[in-house]
Amino acid sequence: MSFRPSPPPPAFACTDETAVAPEGHTGCLCHRPELAALTARLQAGMSRRGFVAGMAASLAALGLARPARAQQPAGPQRILFTNIRLFDGRASALREGVSLLVEDSRVKSIAAGTPAAPEGARVIDGGGRVLMPGLIDMHWHAIFAALPIPVMLSAEPGYIFLAAAAEAERTLMRGFTTIRDLGGPSFPLKQAIDEGLTAGPRIYPCGAMITASAGHGDLRPLAELPRAAGTPDRTERTGGVAIADGEAEVMLRAREQLMQGASQLKMVGGGGVSSPRSPLDASTFTEGEMRAAVQVASDWNTYVASHAYASHTIRRSLDAGVTCIEHGHLMDEEIAARMAEKGIWLSTQPFLSLEDTGPLTGPSRDRALAIFAATDNVYALAKKHGIKTAFGSDMLFSPELARRQGVMLTHLARWYSAAEALRMATATNAELLALSGPRNPYPGKLGVLEEGAYADMLLVEGNPLENLSLIADAGTNFRIIMKDGRIHKDTLGH
């Protein structure tokens, strides 16, 4: 494979007006002289559905656009990795002394030893390092991860989406080459990433999370009650949440997400931690309302994931036919056995302390402490009953928390071997992604390194199957980050 120029280094984030960007960085967005005119143009003309065009112009003005077509030389692009130890996403041990050939966006072949490089291929000597699949986060919020709630509720759309694009690149630089977005208007960001306008992970979008009035995600101030049917509030207009009461409205909101390109649906079956008036024990949709969403998803040949903590909420979701339970920390033995029997997925998060959620007060703090106390139990039940379990981090509303995405994965060492944890965050997570069926935006092999798979991979300094904590320091330990056959980070100096 011919050498492709590396993308420009990520923007240097700062809050100090006197800060100077590190050498080689593009500079903080707030210090770019082009930004004033750019922001004015975005604010004047950008709606949610018109975001992609605005983002294209924005990135071009900032010098960040990546005109992929103009850079494509004739013929297939090839990279040959030699002298590597391979973790393929499935096995519990490394394959020693192998080579892997990437052609365009896919893994072309894997062979023992060092085969002759194809004509025009770029050869990368791995130096005996571990090559593994890119990581997958099954519960991420691409738009909401790194901005505080007050900013999300008050900032202009242009700022929010530029911040999300910057966070998407940081997500990729943490080694997460794919995320499942469990609520947020991420469709335009996904398109911009897919078209090469900005760097970021593959996104499996849910669109707006669908909640009942007073459910988790209903952030309306009490002054806006009662709700006027058919009149969306500000949070709904952003595309982050859709409030639906009654089966007909649930079906409407579900179809709206699928119309925009949702690969699966997110229903809020019960209360949550961060919402101010939605206790964990509350079940916020009826079985009929949940079943209405499942019917729509089935009609579109995809599935529903249900946000549910308490056993009775999970039971109602199972009765309605959902495929995946998000969180599930407060489940009991009976529910765990039933989930295993029915082949229902558990997508949960290893929350252990306030370090994983940030400082909380009032009811949110009390609910978080209840979740921390239950985390050991949910993983114990999942292992005991053989529940199909996926890893997600669910970092929200804080750049400091977003940086802990890899740290959250290392928490799995409390219950799993390093190989089991990495298998969960690669091949196993990819199995759940594939349940989107025809709605799958990337219908190829993800989470594995084998012939024909997408070329999403990490070259790691050290052996993560022996030391899972290496994942927490991606800046030091991920020497090469490749997504879709394109190298986004290379510190080997080839």
Strand partners, 133: 457
How do residues 299-350 score in pLDDT, each as one tens digit? 999 999 999 999 999 999 999 999 999 999 999 999 999 999 999 999 999 9
Residue 61 pLDDT exceeds 50: no
Tell whether 305 and 350 lie within a shared domain.
yes
8: three-class secondary structure by DSSP: coil
Least confident span in 100-114, 122-136, 231-245: 231-245
Has residue 262 got a pLDDT over 50?
yes
Q: Residue 422 belongs to a domain with what CATH number?
A: 3.20.20.140
pLDDT in tens, 389-445: 999 999 999 999 999 999 999 999 999 999 999 999 999 999 999 999 999 999 999
Please check whether residues 273 and 397 belong to one and the same domain: yes
Pairing assessment for the beta strands 389-391 and 345-348 based on DSSP bridges: parallel
140 in Cβ contact with 388 (< 8 Å): no
Measured between alpha carbons, how far is 97 from 114 in angstroms, rounded to an integer? 8
Query: pLDDT value at position 275?
Result: 82
Which residues on adjacent β-strands are paired with residue 241? 209
Co-location of 318 and 389 in the same domain: yes
Query: Residue 53 above 60 pLDDT?
Result: no
So what's the pLDDT on residue 32?
Answer: 40
Give the distance, in angstroms, between the CA of residue 189 and the centroid of all CA atoms in the same chain: 12
Question: Would residue 25 count as lying in a domain?
Answer: no
Residue 251 lies in a domain: yes
8 A C-beta contact, residue 260 and residue 251 = no
Residue with tokens 């519990």: 92
Helix (H, G, I), strand (E, B) or coil at 481: strand
Question: Is the pLDDT reported for residue 25 higher than 70?
Answer: no
5-22 in b/e burial notation, b at 16+ Cβ within 10 A?
eebeebbbbeeeeeeebe
Range of the domain at 309: 136-439
Domain count, the chain: 2
Question: How far, in Å, CA of 99 to CA of 223, rounded?
Answer: 63
Task: Give the per-residue pLDDT at 153.
Answer: 78
169 and 318 share one domain = yes
Q: Which residues pair with 457 in a beta bridge?
A: 133, 482
The answer to whether residues 470 and 350 belong to one domain is no
Which DSSP symbol is given to 281? T
Residue where a domain stops, chosen among 422, 439, 456: 439
Judge if 410 and 470 occupy the same domain. no
The residue-averaged pLDDT of 363-367 equals: 94
Read off the tokens for 354.
Answer: 């306030």
The pLDDT score that the predictor gives to residue 5 is 37
Is residue 426 domain-shared with residue 451, that is, in the same domain?
Answer: no
Do 354 and 398 meet the contact criterion of CB atoms below 8 Å apart?
A: no
Q: Are residues 228 and 316 in the same domain?
A: yes
H or E element in which residue 160 lies: helix 157-173
pLDDT band at 51 (very low <50, low <70, confident <90, very high): very low
Cis before residue 22, ω within 30 degrees of 0?
no
On whether residue 39 sits in a domain, the answer given is: no
Query: pTM score, two decimals?
Result: 0.86
d(CA 323, CA 155): 35
- Judgement on whether residues 234 and 266 belong to the same structural domain of the protein: yes
Average pLDDT, the chain: 87
pLDDT at residue 491 tops 50: yes
E strands along 152-219, which residues?
176-181, 202-205, 209-211
Q: Are residues 321 and 409 located together in one domain of the fold? A: yes
64 is a domain residue = no
What token pair was written down for 413? 């060492």
Instruction: State the pLDDT confidence band at 237, using cuts at 50, 70 and 90.
Output: confident
Which pair of tokens denotes residue 488? 């986004």
- Across-strand partners of 325? 306, 346
Indicate if the pLDDT at residue 35 is higher than 50. no
Identify the CATH number of the domain in which residue 457 sits: 2.30.40.10
Assess if residue 59 is contained within a domain: no
